[in-house]
Structure 1
Amino acid sequence: MAITQPGGGVSTAHVNMMTDTIIANLPADGLRVVMRALLVLFPEITHAFECETKKFVEQRALSSIIGKDKKPSLPELNKTQQIARSMLGCGLSFKSLQLFQNLVAQGTVLISRTSDDSQYELFTFLTSVDGDIVQAMTAVQKSLFIDTGTRVMDNGEHALVEALYHSLTSCYDTLKATEHDYPFGRSLISTAGILGLPRPTLLDAHQDLSKQTSLIPLPQQARETFQLNGRTVPRIFSGLWQMSSPAWGAASSSKIVEQFSSHVRQGFTAFDMADHYGDAEVIFGRFSSLYPHRQTIFTATKYCVFHPMTVSREAVQANVTERCRRLQTEKINLLQFHWQFYENPDYLKALRFLTEDDRVETVGLCNFDTKHLLEVVQSGIRVHTNQVQFSLVDSRPVFEMGSACEEHSIKLLTYGTLCGGFLADKWLGKPEPDIYDGSITPSQRKYFEMIRSWGGWNLFQELLTILRAIATKHKVGISNVATRWVLDFPYVGAVIVGARMGISEHTDENLSSFGWSLDQSDRDAIEEILIRSRRAEIFQKVGDCGAEYR
């Protein structure tokens, strides 16, 4: 077996018979758990894992394309989708496009051959493909901004995107004469954007959104707010990370817009997104541009640098221009900056360019640790926020970040506060989950590892039991107590609660986090559990805020 070494060389490895027997017979979900554990324990093998995966999926890609002479079936399309998703995971965004083009074409054929009884299953699948294509377009877009900030595709790349776009429009032309819904509305808009084409009017989406937004009344005032650079904003932001992938479920634009409207009506007027959260900026931008009370909405997005780049005013301005284009706005309320490479101090130059751009009302940070946040402050750059992970299970901000923020009037915007949904009543008394069960989300797989590092499932159940008692006392839910614990820190501006837009609705539940505080006996009871955890060890071994992403 030839294995690519991290340094680029190749060696021949022998797998002994007993180990090979395990690989051949261990159930697929067991293999996934073991692979994940190996990557956590030995992160240095990640590069080799990705290289070997790339070789495998590239070999399988062509064989996954279903020819015109073969009748497609849903199981076959599912297999093709798995390979295409794996290609996205490996960074092969352009190479995945031919598979997605084939999925659209074969899905269109399958619609006409599927009985009414099976239509729901098929359209659920095609809606997930729609979300996959949005994710692919996001990856393509990010790759085009690496280094210079310009958007240039070579002829081959352009041809791949254009072929996918024509496949999407062809599907629409085929279905418009029928009573079938069109399942690819989001990906059609995203693909047109990459090609620099006007937003497609095929779906009359503008008219549909106008109907949904024109009658919305002025939103309620949030029950708890804080001041952010002169703006009054709610202390719970609606997070749109889940729109980055259909792994959390996928919904149509109309359903997503309907949920935006629901959030706004109840006073949740602040939304957090990013340049790599799928089409979150695009759909939210269309919603807010048509919303009759746009001035009441607070839009927070991000400029994330994950790859080495040459920092220039032009490159930074190009990213701001792209954010404004997608959000359909002339000004961005809050632009949060993430920089992956601390060893390169050019992040200070990029931040200075952002603060000098009149289109950015407020500049914040994302996943900066205390040391580098202070370097930003000491350089004379004014930042107002830092977005970091903060929860009962990950309390790293209390060690250094909190005091630095208080001293320099910086507010934390916190995510992961509910640990992907684990800090909720539904998990009280439940056994440790199979993290590759179909009902488990990518967020939960991520935060389950944090729970294990923090103290394990048994101690986590003790924490839930204490939280349930406190929740009963205050007539709220466990998730509200977990949110309140974070909100009660003076340096926390707002908690970002992830929203599965168009999939599930929790605005009424989130409202119950406002209007009360934990008393001393509540905090003491929680502390009795936390003191038995490995919270300090997490800070020492994982590192300060944001270190887990570097």
Structure 2
Amino acid sequence: MEYTKVSDLDFEISRITLGTWAIGGWQWGGTDEQQSVDTVLEALEMGVSTIDTAPIYGFGKSEELVGRAVKEFGNREEVQIATKFGLQWDDDENVRRNSSRERILKEFNDSLRRLQTDYIDIYQIHWPDLQTNFRETANTLLQLLDSGKIKAIGVSNFSVEQMEEFQQYAPIHVAQPPYNLFERGIEHDLLPYCNEHNISLLTYGALCRGLLSGKMDEDQEFQKGDLRRNTDPKFQGDVFKNHLDAVEKLKEYAAEELDRSVLGLAVRWILHKGVDSAIWGARRPEQVTFDEATGWELTADQVKEIETIVEEMVEDPVSPAFMAPPE
């Protein structure tokens, strides 16, 4: 496993981060709890030291399972837990943004309890809350940082303009936007901005909800409750087929030119592009094949060839904006 320093802080994260949205079950057709715990343990045993979760992932379920696994693993100081706040839900699973001081402190204490820990390594605003002044949110996070209850402040799904406004009141150490071969919007502004300002990039969606795993076909069936069944536009009709065709071309290139899997190619490409750590989601221990993307490099020519394949096969990229909760 490869590791990298977080911003200007005195700790490191692994360059592959285990993503745990799916093990929460919500929008993924449910979860197998023991299998999920075993998956986290498998990743930690492999050398992955960083785990990304959030309260909204299963309405606390993902955090609970991560907490169980980390406790069983032991060596809490060797694990970096990245979790989030700022999404509030009701009994009917209606979600809205709320990054007020009161909400942050409630979520923070709830997360500590579920994660069975007394501090959080990277604490991130899940989505920008435009109804709450950034000063209020930033000041609350600064207090948590100064007290040692969190080690780094992060933002997720923020624009450059929102990050600049937030930084008037508190530093940003980590940014978490979506990024993969099919979702490259951050290349225009956010990625160079973070690189220039020493903000660590912890990007999500490395495999684009499984599309880039190379294991899907047109007959793929998704369980009831899985967002890919009816909601995610990349998995519908001709758009799905178009992306699958692109994956097949990438799979051929990976095998013939690199002697690698398409899955390994997709994640290594992200790491090559200036990203500090790519979030790779897994639900079963056998999906923890993170070593496929570590310990080797792509050349500039190979990166160009890979991007050309995608650009020629997917003429009208679909953004991941459909995942945004109501403002």
State the TM-score, normalized to the length of structure 1: 0.51
Deviation of the 1:391 alpha carbon: 0.9
**After superposition, what is the alpha-carbon deviation per residue over 1:276-303, rounded to whole angstroms, capped at 9, x for unaligned?**
2232222322332343322111111111
Identity %: 23
Inter-partner Cα distance in structure 2 for 1:392 and 1:235: 17
Deviations 1:120-167 (A, max 9, x none): xxxxxxxxxxxxxxxxxxxxxxxxxxxxxxxxxxxxxxxxxxxxxxxx
Q: Name 2:92's counterpart in structure 1.
A: none
User: Does residue 294 of the first structure (1) align with residue 76 of the second (2)?
Assistant: yes
The one of 517, 524, 535 aligned to 2:304: 524
Judged with a 3 Å threshold, the aligned counterparts in structure 2 of structure 1 residues 457 and 310 are, in CA distance, closer, same or farther, namely closer
Match of 1:338 among 110, 123, 126: 126
Map of 1:450 onto structure 2: 234
Alignment match of 1:240 (pick from 12, 20, 40) = 20
Report what 2:157 is aligned to: 367
Give, as a single letter, the amino acid of the residue that structure 2 aligns with 1:370.
Answer: V
State whether residues 249 and 309 of structure 2, in contact with CA within 8 Å, keep that contact through their aligned partners in structure 1.
no
Counterpart position of 2:115: 327
2:36 pairs with 1:251: no
- The aligned runs of 1:143-154 (5 Å cut-off) are none
Contact persistence 1:453–1:538 (CA under 8 A): no
Query: Using a 3 Å threshold, how does the CA distance of structure 1 residues 286 and 524 change in structure 2: closer, same or farther?
Result: closer
Superposed displacement of residue 417, structure 1:
1.6
1: distance between equivalents of 2:99 and 2:294?
A: 44
Contact 1:369 1:547 in 2 (8 A): no
Q: Please give the alpha-carbon distance, in whole angstroms, between the structure 2 residues aligned to 1:309 and 1:521.
A: 45
Superposed CA deviations along residues 185-238 of structure 1, whole A, max 9, x for unmatched, are xxxxxxxxxxxxxxxxxxxxxxxxxxxxxxxxxxxxxx2111112212111111
Equivalent residue number for residue 143 of structure 2: 356
Amino acid at match of 1:506: Q
Larger strand share, 1 or 2: 2
Query: Closer, same or farther in 2 for the Cα pair 1:546/1:407, shift >3 Å?
Result: farther
Distance 1:496 1:463 in 2: 19
- In structure 2, what is the Cα distance between the partners aligned to 1:450 and 1:522? 25
The equivalent position to 1:414 in structure 2, one of 203, 213, 220, is 203
Q: Separation in 2 of the partners of 1:351 and 1:240?
A: 26
Corresponding residue to 2:295 among 507, 515, 520: 515
Compare CA radii of gyration and give the structure with the larger one. Answer: 1
CA pair 356-258 structure 1, distance change in 2 beyond 3 A:
same
Give, in angstroms, the shift of residue 517 of structure 1. 1.7
Question: What letter corresponds to residue 206 of structure 2 in structure 1?
Answer: T
Q: State the alpha-carbon separation in 2 of the partners of residues 462 and 438 from structure 1.
A: 20
The structure-2 alpha-carbon separation of the partners of 1:521 and 1:463, relative to structure 1 and needing over 3 Å to count, comes to: farther
Q: CA RMSD in A?
A: 3.0
The amino acid across from 1:354 in the alignment is: L
Higher relative contact order (CA 8 A, sep 6+): 2
Aligned residues of 1:467 and 1:526 also touching (Cα < 8 A): no
- Provide TM-score, normalisation by structure 2: 0.83
Matched residue SS, 1:517: coil
Deviation at 1:245, TM superposition (A): 1.8
Match of 2:91 in 1: none
Over 3 Å counting, the alpha-carbon distance change for 1:456 and 1:249 in structure 2 is: closer
Offset of 1:439 from its aligned partner?
5.7
Find the counterpart in structure 1 of residue 85 from structure 2.
303
How many Å apart are 1:321 and its aligned residue?
Answer: 1.7
Structure 1 residues 418-437: aligned runs within 5 Å: 418-427=207-216, 430=217, 432-433=218-219, 437=221
State the match for 1:496 in structure 2. 279
The structural deviation recorded for 1:395 is: 0.4
* Contact 1:425/1:468 (<8 A) preserved: no
How far apart in 2 are the matches of 1:236 and 1:274? 17
Q: How does 1:16-415 map to 2 (within 5 A)?
A: 223-228=1-6, 229-245=9-25, 247-253=28-34, 255-278=35-58, 279-306=61-88, 307=96, 309=98, 311-312=100-101, 314-342=102-130, 344-357=131-144, 358=147, 359-377=149-167, 379-415=168-204
More helix by share: 1
Alpha carbons of 1:548 and 1:482: their partners in 2 closer, same or farther (altered >3 Å)?
A: farther
Question: How far off its partner does 1:337 sit?
Answer: 0.9
Amino acid at match of 1:287: A
Opposite residue 49 of structure 2, the aligned amino acid is T
Q: How far did 1:310 drift? A: 8.2
Per the alignment, residue 149 of structure 1 pairs with none
Shift of 1:405: 0.8
- On the 8 A contact 1:236/1:268 being kept in 2, the answer is yes
Q: Conserved in 2, the CA contact under 8 Å of 1:274 and 1:303?
A: yes
How far 1:308 moved relative to its partner? 5.9
